[in-house]
Amino acid sequence: MESIKYKNWFDGECEQVTKKQAYKRMQQRNHTRGAVEKYREARRKEKRLHKKKKREYDKQELIELEHLRSSNEIRAFYQKLNKSRKDFQPRTTLCRDKEGTILSSDEEILERWPQYFEELLNGNVSEQVEGMPIDRTQGNFETEEPAPTIKDVEQAIKKLKNNKAPGMDLITAELVKFSDPEYTKHLHQLIVKIWIPEIIPEERNLSTVCPIHKKGDVVVCSNYRGISLLCIAYKIFSNILFNRLSPFVEGIIGDYQCGFRQGRSVNDHIFIIRQVLKK
Show me where the domains of the chain are located: 12-85, 89-120, 144-253
DSSP string for residues in 195-225: HTTT---GGGG--EEEEEE-SS-TT-GGGEE
- pLDDT, residue 16, reads 65
Q: Flag whether the pTM goes above 0.75.
A: no
- pLDDT, residue 1, reads 38
- pLDDT, residue 31, reads 64
Q: How far apart are CA 88 and CA 100, in angstroms?
A: 26
Instruction: Enumerate the H helices of 172-227 as residue ranges.
Output: 173-177, 181-195
- pLDDT, residue 185, reads 94
Q: How far apart are CA 40 and CA 34, in angstroms?
A: 10
- pLDDT, residue 28, reads 61
Is residue 164 within 8 A of residue 172, CB to CB? The reply is yes
Residue 69: burial class (beta carbons within 10 Å; 0-12, 13-18, 19+): middle
- pLDDT, residue 45, reads 82
- pLDDT, residue 62, reads 87
**Backbone φ and ψ of 122, nearest 5°:** -120, 35
- pLDDT, residue 156, reads 95
pLDDT tens string, the chain, 279 residues long: the values are 344 445 677 766 666 666 665 556 655 666 667 767 777 777 788 888 888 888 888 888 889 888 988 888 888 888 888 877 766 566 778 889 888 898 888 899 999 999 999 888 876 655 555 655 655 555 555 567 889 999 999 999 999 999 899 998 999 999 999 999 999 999 999 999 999 888 888 887 788 899 988 888 889 999 998 899 999 999 999 999 999 988 888 878 888 888 878 888 888 888 888 989 987
Beta bridge partners of 212: 225
